[in-house]
Structures are given as C-alpha cells and as structure tokens.
Chain A
Amino acid sequence: MPKIALSHMEAAALFAFFASIVLGVVSKRTDRDRLRYGLYCFGYFIVALFGLGWLMYFGHR
C-alpha cells in the first residue's frame, strides 16, 4: 500500500470532511437537514482548525 504524506492542514481537513459526512448522515431526519448539518459541522471544523492554528502561531512567538 502506498504511503502518503499530507500537511497538517490537509490531514485535518480530510478528517473534518469524513467526520462531517457521518455526523450529517446520523444526526437529522430529513435529507435537507442532513446536508445542512453536515456542511455546518464541516464549516465549524474548518473555523476551529484556523482558530487553533492562529492560537498556536501566537503561542509560539
């Protein structure tokens, strides 16, 4: 099996993508709500990713 090398950003974004799909699928009752919730989760994952990234950047200065 090939070995892959991702950056922190790519690895975290992929994690957010797959986790958001599952959270969207299992959480709501209609397809529309599932899609919205999945996008909502993904958005928050990315916001948290950038937020923590900046926090670590300033923490290490």
Chain B
Amino acid sequence: MIESKKNMAEQAKTQKEPAAPLNTWLPAVAIAWLVPGGGHFYLGKRGRGLLLLFSVLSMFVLGLTSRGAFFQPQTGDLLTTLIYCGGFLGDVLSGFPYFLAVWMGYAQPDMPGMMHDYGTKFLVSAGLLNVLAMVDAFEIAVGRKD
C-alpha cells in the first residue's frame, strides 16, 4: 500500500516535470532532420551519427537506384489523403538527400514494377528511419539518454 502510494507520488512528480527549453533540443532536432545522423554529430555522438547517416543514406540511395517515385501530396478520400500526404511527409523527412534529389531534377513517375515499388517504399522508409534518429537526438539533447 505504502509502496504503491510512493509509486503514485513518483509518477505525479515525473508528470509535472517542466518541458525542456526549446534552445536545448531544437538545433539538434533541426540538424538531425536536415542531415541524417547530424543531430548525433552535433551532440558529440559521432559513432552513432555515422551509423545513422550510413543507414538512412543507403536506404535513400537504394530507393533512387531502384527508380522509386516521390509522393506528391494529394487529397480525396481518406485513404488517398493518408497515403499521398503521409508518403510525401515521409519523403521530406529524409532531409537534404530529398531536397538535393529534387533540386537535381529527379522526377521518376509512379509506374508499375516490382523494383519501382520497392524503391518508393525505400525512399519513404529512409524518412521514417530519420524520424527515429530525430527522436533519439531529442532525447539525448534534453538529457533523457546518454
């Protein structure tokens, strides 16, 4: 009984923990978005940053060499909106590789074919993996992780 009250008190304490100031985590998260693994480099975690850069960039390049298509935001029924807007967000979350590819004129149309399909998924997955890296950079920046 006493133990459970103690736990509740501890939970209440953690719930009231003030939000970390913006300037402690925003630069790390912004850099992590723009350069995969960059947030970790910024926070001095070079080894982990290098592994993230390698993985996200490899996934992205695999998507490009498979001639995957970038999603363009489209609205319509719920499923169309979810797939196209979500896919577009996933692509953009890769950061500079996405902007560089668009700037250099990569505009593969969406076409049938196994490799094109894999490529499109690889491109979105690269962005989603970068989101995990951004969340990790945030947790390191606010001191929740080493």
Q: Do A and B come from one complex?
A: yes
Interface residues on B, range: 20 to 34
CA distance A8 to B48 in the complex (A): 29
| B133 contacts A15, C-beta separation under 8 Å | no
Q: Which B residues are in CB contact (< 8 Å) with A25?
A: 48, 51-52, 55, 133, 136
Q: Does A21 contact B (CB under 8 A)?
A: yes
- The dominant DSSP class at the B interface is helix
Q: Does B28 contact A (CB under 8 A)?
A: no
Q: Does A14 contact B (CB under 8 A)?
A: yes
Interface residues on A, range: 10 to 19
Q: Does B96 contact A (CB under 8 A)?
A: no
| A18 contacts B58, C-beta separation under 8 Å | yes
Q: Which A residues are in CB contact (< 8 Å) with B62?
A: 4, 14, 18
CA distance A22 to B62 in the complex (A): 16
A contact residues vs B (CB 8 Å cutoff) = 1-6, 8, 11, 14-15, 18-19, 21-23, 25-26, 29
